[in-house]
Amino acid sequence: MARLNRDSYAWTVDQLRADNPRSFLEIGFGTGHLLKRAIKTFKLEHASGVDPSELMVETAAKRLRRYAKKTALDIHQGDDTHLPEGPFDAIAALHSFQFWSDPDAALARVRARLTPRGRLILVLRMHVSRRAAKWIPNPLSRSGNEIAEACAALERAGFSVVAMQGISKASQGIVAVPR
């Protein structure tokens, strides 16, 4: 997965570089590669993450334990409905948006946890047929027009989309800020 997501990690860090965040939350952190990169790049004071997989929490905890002396780490099993309180200067969700069963509610929770000048990075997985599989929980991801639907949901949640970019053939990035 780290190799597959390498471009998404690099793009996400580049989008945050000018802001130099001190606190960061990743929703669906997987093996912890982006959290590690963010900790190293930004010298984070606080790094948090939620992931639904117990195995991913264990894997990321091992990967990140050496940073616990300089960065307050809070990673635990959970999903978009169980977010740490924050506030966070930056929140990222790479390839996890499609698993949010209620994206409007999730984005409202994310918005409530961002600092006023914070940034949200969404990286969407591009589906080969443009329409995600029926088993994917997020109705916006199944719509066949996920990018436009995600942007509309961001607007409804009180965000302004400030950047969009194709990251690779498989990924589209969106940067949003609170209005």
What pLDDT sits at residue 25? 98
**According to the model, what pLDDT value does residue 129 have?**
58
Contacting residues for 50 by C-beta, under 8 A, at least 6 apart: 25, 26, 27, 28, 29, 75, 76, 77, 78, 79, 80, 82, 83, 84
CB 166, CB 149: distance < 8 Å: no
Residue 161 has a pLDDT of 98
Count structural domains, the chain: 1
Cα(20)–Cα(31) distance, integer angstroms? 23
Q: What average pLDDT values come out for the chain (179 residues) when binned by 10 residues? A: 80 97 98 97 97 97 94 95 94 95 97 98 80 77 88 98 94 97
Q: 23-27 and 114-125 as β-strands: parallel, antiparallel, unpaired?
A: unpaired
Domain span at 86:
2-178
114-149 burial code (b ≥16 CB/10 A, e <16): bbeebbbbbbbbebeeeebeeebebebbbeeebbeb
Q: Which two tokens stand for residue 64?
A: 């990140």
Which CATH number do you get for residue 46? 3.40.50.150
Q: Output the pLDDT for position 139.
A: 85
SS3 160: strand
Within 13 Å, how many C-alpha atoms sit on residue 68's CB side? Answer: 10
How confident is the model at residue 2, as a pLDDT? 59
What is the reported pLDDT for 140?
87
**Calpha distance 13→178 (Å, rounded):** 19
